[in-house]
Every structure is written in structure tokens, then in C-alpha cells.
Structure 1
Amino acid sequence: MATVTRENIGLLNDKITVKVSQEDYLPNYDKAVKQLSKTANIPGFRKGMVPAGMVKKMHGQAIFADEVLKTVEKELTGYLQNEKVEIFAQPLSLEKEAKNFDHNNPTEYNFDFEIGLKPAFEVTPLQDGKTTLSRYKIKVTSEMLDKEVENLLERGGKNEETDKVSSENDFLTVKFEESDEAGNVLEGGIQKENAIKLKQFSAPIQEQLKGKGKGDSIVFFLATSFDAAALHDILHDLGFHGHNDADAQRYFKLTIEKVEVIVKRELNEEFFKEVFPKDDVTTEEAFREKLKSEIEKYWDSESRNHLHNELFEVLVHETPIELPKEFLKRWLQQGGEKPKTAEEAEKEYPGFDHQLRWTLISDKLIRENKLDVSFDELKESARQKVMGYFGGAAAADGAEWLDSYLERLLQDEKFVDQTYREMVTQKLFDWAEQKVNVKEEEVTAEEFAKLPNKHHHHEH
């Protein structure tokens, strides 16, 4: 009769030995042989009339090994379920060499496995008002509002070709040709057409370009002609995806092929309705008030995300959890689709450890506090997503079309799973936010943008 024994071999790390004898696997072996004899196609024998001895001769070794391993797996799984052992991932085999199975000589076999045990822990940062975090209030200033109005008027405007470069907002269609310092184009060098705003260049280059028109050229040194963000984008456009500083140590000849000026929209009722089609906005005052409200919503959302990211980091780094690190590193090596080296597992482990701690914490909090998402909540969230995708068109086409689309969407397991995880994680943060001290602090948008944001993504 099969036996399963267990011994501790390290922190949250046990060895399990499964011992199986002939009586455990031979009945299934004989049954599998008989089943194959009924279905096998072997020359010289009618289907269903192949002798069991012939099946054993041809396939016995493979069937035997398969049935022994199936029996071991069944005993191991049954033990873990019956004993309610909380483990990470799957047990790892400790067998260094393949077993020498011999179906002509059935015997007793021992198989050793190791398991990593999930730890017991308490989420201490949420206890007794221990944690204090800031919720930042970003004040929407008249300057911010003016800038957004100008951006909207510009985005809603149209480009018209003009003769000369005159404004930092002009769009230039240009040709970049790699050259030497004197502007001699290098044979085999980089050549690329691009559309770029004048203000993306550094101030000295802007001055060189102003007053120039179609066909005019300048020569510039790439590294000093853009700010860091614009340089990164230009390097990417030129085919340098790694953004190595050495890539920017080049001269380029720039030839203007077209100059376009943006003709902004007029600030009138037609424009108001294009920006806010669902609202009855007819005056500039009402437009600015509505726009201010939307900007406040945006910054409130950003502030909330920042708070939740800070809460995430506190929970992960300040909740004391012991982990079987050496087991988990071995699991990283062996447990995936593609085996990893010890060096690869070591390098990958910190990020894995970080996410694993969050999974343990979030699972515990969701389970213990009965945080869940009903199907009706999920369906409504999906409806709002669809409305966001298609805007007013979704409602205008009628509920029948929308309901049909939703029904198909909710049959997509990947979409449903992702939506559920997003929603239950949001519920978790909303709940956890009530368990810490939150102090409100007013800052400018510029100050908020400079705040450290250690973590940008968390999901259950």
C-alpha cells in the first residue's frame, strides 16, 4: 500500500516521500494494457484482437512507467489536499536521475519531492492606525485652465502651409541627413523624413530656423539640439531604440520640405459642443467651468492613484512575511516552460519576490474581508468601458446593439478575468484606505509631478 511521509528540510521547506508498491500501480497497468489491446493497430492482428502479451512486448515499458508516475502523482496530490497543505506553486522533484523502470520486474519505488510552504502572517501596517499617508490636493489655477483651453483650440485647429518659419508652434516637415560638421552628407549615413514642431528644438536651433522656408538647410549637432525628452523621441525615430548617449554624437543636415502654421479654432458655441457633446455648454464661462471640473477630476484620479501606489509599497515592504527563498529560486529555475540558470533565477528573484508578497497580502485581505465583485457589477463596469470606447455612438445606436456587444464581450474569459481583477483590486485599496491615517496636503501640479512614484502597476 502506498505511503506518504513528510519531513522539514529548511525554512518553510519540506521534503515529501511517496512510496508505491506493485499493488498500487499494477492493476492500472494491466487495465491500460487491455485497453490498448482493444484499440491498437498492429500488422498481422485484427483490431481489438491484439494479445496482451504482444502489447506488453511493444509498449509495456512506456505504459508501465506512465502508470507508476500517475499513481505517485495521485498519492502526492491526495496527501496535499487531505492534509490541507498550503504550498507555493507545484512540488519540485528531488530525483537526480530517471528511475530504472522494468515492467518485467515490478517492484517498490520511492519518489522524493520538495515543497515551499505559504507562511502565516499579519498585515501589520493596517493595524491600530499605524500608517499615515498623504492625499495630495492639486489646485487648478487660472494659468492651468488657460493653457488647457489653448491646447484644445490648437488640437481642434487645422494646419495651413506657410512660406517661412515664424512661431515655436509651427510644424516643419524636414529631412534629416547624417553629415559631417560642414554639412557634407555621409555616404551610407542615416536619412529620415520627420514632422516636428519648432519648439521641440533647443532655443539656439529655433533661432537658426526662424525665417527659413522650403528648401533651406541648417547643420546641427544632435546631442545639444533637443531637451532630454525630445532627444529620446528623435533617437527612436532615427532607429536608435536603446538611447545610448553615443548615438547622439552625430551631425545632421536638416532640410525644410514644408512649413505649416496651426490655425486655432474659434472659442464659440460650436467648439464648446464638440468638446462636451453631452453637456449644454453655450458660453465661454460655462465652458471654462466645465473644463475646470474635468481637470480637477483628472488630478483627483492621479492623486488617488498616487495614494494607492504608496499604500501598495507600505503593505509590501512593511508587512513581515518569511518566504522559502531558496525553494522559490529553484522553482524559478525549474517551474517555468523554459528552464533557467541559477544566475537568471537570482536576477529575476527580487521582482518575483515583490509580486509574490503582494499576491499573498491581497489574497489574504480579499478573503478575510469578503471583498468580491458581483456579476452585475462586472457587467456594469464592462458597459462603462464600452461607452468609453465608443463615446456617444454607443448610446446613439440604441441599447440593443450595446447589449449584444456586451454579451459577446462577457463571454471572453480573458476580458472577464482582467476586469474582475481590476475591480476587486480597486475594492481592496478603497477598503485599505480606510484603515490608514490619510492627511490632505495641497500642492501644485509641478510639485505633484516631482513626487517619487515607486510603483506604477498593481493588480490582484
Structure 2
Amino acid sequence: MATITQEKIGPLHEKLSVKLEKADYLPGFEKSLKEYSKKANIPGFRPGKVPAGLIKKMYGPSLFMDEVLRSIDKEVLGYLDTNKVNIFAQPLPLENDMSRLDANNPGDYDFHFEIGLKPDFKMLDLAKTDITGYNIDITDEMINEEVERLQNRYGNMTDKETVEADDNVVNVTFTETDAEGNEIENGIKKDNSLLVKYFAPAVRKELNGKKTGDSIQIQLGTAFEEKELDFIAQDLGLNKEEAATKDKTFKLEITKVGLLEKRALDEAFFTQLYPAGDVTTEEAFRTKVKDEIYNYWAAQSRNQIHDQLFHKLVDDTKIEFPEAFLKNWLTTQNNQPQEGGEPQPAKTPEQIEAEMPSFLNQLKWTLITEKIVTDNGIQVAPDEIRDFARQQLFQYMGGAMGMTDDQPWVNDYIGRMMKDRKYVEDAYNRLQSQKVFEWAETKIKPKATTISVEDFSKMVSEHQHHHH
């Protein structure tokens, strides 16, 4: 009978010693030798007639080692299972000397492993945590801007001879030049369509009266104000934070002049945007636009609450980890070749040390999630994954094609996705995580605070910088 003893190495870090007796593995070894001699294919012998001694000589050592390791594995897993030992990852072998395994001289063997124990911890009492719920202030100005954006987006363009006003649209080609106005070889060349009012006042003056085919010279930093420079620079593939960007000079050739006529706020326009036909007046239209803006920001606000919950749970839940074991485990892991890839170069102890904090944070979140899921019986059913796949498909297709489930290709597609193991795992994790947050939301009483869109966006983006 194999015997297993367990002793402490450090915090949540234990050593398992397995004493394997001859009787534990020998019958298995002899059986596998027999199996082998039945099917071994050795030139000069008929199958099944190979002398046992030859089989043992050729295959003995590797079959012997396999059988010993299999018995060890079985014993260790059985022990952990019987004693309800909850471990991270898997047991790691400690200095086990394989050279002493001798098929011709079977004996008792000692094997040693280290294990990292999963900690018990107390769940944070969410009812007592401070969470802020941001009510984002939807201003008339935001509604006006959105209405105007829609009017322009669906507006009609008419061609014009010359540039006459700030609301004219010019199609231009940006061609990068040197300071003297000579085209730079392999420089930036990009078409764009801009309202005249996007340019700085001095350039607007210069554009006035110009026709298709005319061109002007500009310097980026002086031709546009900050806000416009942002999106022009981005469009040209430049970084507006770099000083050199503002100094760049371009030739702008006008390829077309047009006048954008805003769509009138009439029933035809409302029905085009909302085909259900429930929007017939400007007032109803503005209400609808406001609802859409509101829903968008309400969703952002809810994500922000989830973010606060995540940080509270991770930062304020005390969990001890078997750090020494986890470092050893990471060290063995990172020398494994990735699935279907090249072996990764081994990480240095310094790299592993540096990655520990973020690794432990992820592990912490995994344990907290597991606990919430177990304690509250949170489940994700296969049907929910199918629904998730269906919604993703409909969103991707824009939902505008009158798609319904009775179209066979929809079900074929979903059936295919459900066979894709990676997709199902990802969907499962996303849905589970969503349910964990929904559960957490029922436990909190957020303090409501009204905030402007600018302040809210600034807060979110600063928070993200701070994290990545």
C-alpha cells in the first residue's frame, strides 16, 4: 500500500511525500509487458511470438517508468480528493531522481511534490462599501448637437463653383511638402472632406473665392485650432502631442466644393430614422434622441459602477496566497511551448517577480468570482450561450435585415459557434462575469451624484491611464 504524508513548507505551501511499494505498480507493469508482446511488431518474429526477455529488454525501461509515474499520479490525485485538499494548478515534482528506476530490479520508491493550497477567505460585505452612482447630466446642448449631427449626416450635398461661406464643404487632398512648398517624396498624401469653418480664421479668408483645382499652402499648427487639429492629425496618422506635428506643412488642393443642406426636421426624416413610425413631431424626435443619449450614458455609468465594485472586491478582500509555490509554478509554466507555437524563451526570475502582483490580482479576482458563483448558485445554461451567440450575430448584421430565427442559416451559424470550444468558453466567462456583477449590484446602495459628461469622461480616462 502506498503511503502519503503531508508537511508544511511555508504559508499555504505543503510538501507531499509518496512512498510507493513494489506491490502498487508491479502488477500493472507486468500486464503492460504482456499487452506489448501481443502486438509488438519486430522483424524476424511472428506477431505475438516475440520472446518475453527481448520485449522486456527493448521496452521494459520506458514501460516501467510509465507505470511508476502513473501509479504515483493516481495515488496523489486520490489523496487530494479523499482529503478534500483544495490546491492551485497541479502538484509540482520536487527533485525526483528518475535514474533510480530500474525495471530489472523493482523496489519501493519515494517521490516528493510541493502543493499550493487555496486559501479560505471572508467575502467582503458589499452592503457596507461606498459606491458612487453617477447620474450623467444630459444637457439641451448635447441634444442639439446630436440633432444637428443627424441632420448633417442625412443631409443633401449640392455642388458649388466657389468657396463662399463657412458652411461650405471642401473636398481636399493633403500633400506633405517641405517649408518651401516642394512635395516630399513618400510623404503623407490623404483625401479629406471638411467644413470651411473647421479651419482657423486666417485660412478661411484665404479659401474664400477659391475654385475646384485651386490649392493653398498650410502649416498644421496654425491652420487648425486644438480640437480640429486633434482629429485632422489622427486622420493623417500623426500624433498631435509631438511638437514636430504642428510644424508640418502641406499643400491643400481643392477637389470639390459643395454645400451641405441640412435635412429638414420633417416627418419623412423622422420616419427614415425610426421606421416604426411612432415619431411624427419634432418634440417626439428630440425626446427620442434624448432617450438614446441617456441610455448610452446610463450604460457607461453602470460600467463605471462595475469598475468600482471590481476594485472594492479586489482591493479590500484579504486573501493570503502561497506565493513561493506560485512563483515556482510560474517558472515551470513559462518554459512550456505555447499550444501550436514555438517554445517561449524562459522568463528570468526578475521578470516573474515583476509579474507577480498583477498575476496575484487576477488570481484574486478568479477566487472571488468562484466564491460568489458557488455561494449564490450562479449558473450559465447552454441556452443562454446560444442566445448570446444569436445576439452577437444580429448586432453584427445590424439587425436591419428582418432577421428571424426561422431562417435556417441563423441556426446553422449558431450551431457552428456552439461547437467551437474556445467561443463557448469565452461566452461562458463573459456571461458568468455579467451575472456576478448583477448579483453584486443587488447588494449595494450607491450614493447618487450628478456629473457632467466632460467630468465623467475625464474621470474614466484618467482611471484607465492609471491602470494600464
Q: TM-score range by the shorter chain?
A: 0.7 to 0.9
Residues 97-106 or 4-13, more deviating: 97-106
1:11-410 equivalences under 5 Å are 11-95=11-95, 99-126=99-126, 129-157=127-155, 167=166, 170=169, 172-177=171-176, 179-186=177-184, 189-195=186-192, 197=194, 203=200, 207=204, 210-211=207-208, 214=213, 216-218=215-217, 220=219, 227=226, 234=233, 238=237, 245=242, 248=245, 251-256=248-253, 258-259=255-256, 261=258, 262-336=260-334, 337=336, 338=344, 339-393=346-400, 395=402, 399-401=406-408, 402-403=410-411, 405-410=413-418
SS of equivalent to 2:253 = strand
Q: Determine the C-alpha separation between the residues in 1 that align with 2:191 and 2:219.
A: 15
What is the CA distance between 1:369 and its match in structure 2? Answer: 1.4
Residues 388-397 or 103-112, more deviating: 388-397
What is the CA distance between 1:293 and its match in structure 2? Answer: 1.3
Q: Determine the C-alpha separation between the residues in 1 that align with 2:311 and 2:331.
A: 27
What is the CA distance between 1:228 and its match in structure 2? Answer: 8.7
Relative to the length of structure 2, the TM-score reads 0.82
In 2 relative to 1, CA 82–396 (structure 1 residues): closer, same or farther, beyond 3 Å? Answer: closer
CA contact (8 A) 1:334 1:340 kept: no
Which structure 2 residue ranges, 5 or more long, are not aligned?
Answer: 337-343
CA contact (8 A) 2:198 2:228 kept: no
CA contact (8 A) 1:164 1:210 kept: no
What is the CA distance between 1:300 and its match in structure 2? Answer: 1.1
What is the CA distance between 1:42 and its match in structure 2? Answer: 1.9
What is the CA distance between 1:142 and its match in structure 2? Answer: 1.5
Q: Determine the C-alpha separation between the residues in 2 that align with 1:137 and 1:167.
A: 37
Matched, 1:414 2:422: yes
CA contact (8 A) 1:168 1:197 kept: no
Matched, 1:428 2:433: no
What is the CA distance between 1:269 and its match in structure 2? Answer: 2.7
What is the CA distance between 1:379 and its match in structure 2? Answer: 4.2
Residue identity matched to 2:54? M
Q: Determine the C-alpha separation between the residues in 2 that align with 1:347 and 1:199.
A: 52
CA contact (8 A) 1:182 1:219 kept: no
Which residue in the other structure is 1:441 paired with? 449
In 2 relative to 1, CA 33–397 (structure 1 residues): closer, same or farther, beyond 3 Å? Answer: same
What is the CA distance between 1:11 and its match in structure 2? Answer: 1.1
Q: Determine the C-alpha separation between the residues in 2 that align with 1:359 and 1:200.
A: 52
CA contact (8 A) 1:163 1:214 kept: no
Which structure 1 residue ranges, 5 or more long, are not aligned?
Answer: none
User: Which digits, 9 at most, give the CA deviation of each residue in 1:288-331, with x for residues without a partner?
Assistant: 21121121111111111111111110110011111122222222
What is the CA distance between 1:410 and its match in structure 2? Answer: 3.8
Residue identity matched to 1:220? Q
Relative to the length of structure 1, the TM-score reads 0.84
What is the CA distance between 1:10 and its match in structure 2? Answer: 0.9
CA contact (8 A) 1:309 1:455 kept: no
CA contact (8 A) 1:221 1:251 kept: yes
In 2 relative to 1, CA 183–61 (structure 1 residues): closer, same or farther, beyond 3 Å? Answer: farther
- Percent sequence identity is 40
CA contact (8 A) 1:137 1:441 kept: yes
Number of residues paired by the alignment?
A: 450
Q: Determine the C-alpha separation between the residues in 1 that align with 2:101 and 2:66.
A: 10
SS of equivalent to 1:25 = helix
What is the CA distance between 1:220 and its match in structure 2? Answer: 3.0
What is the CA distance between 1:284 and its match in structure 2? Answer: 2.1
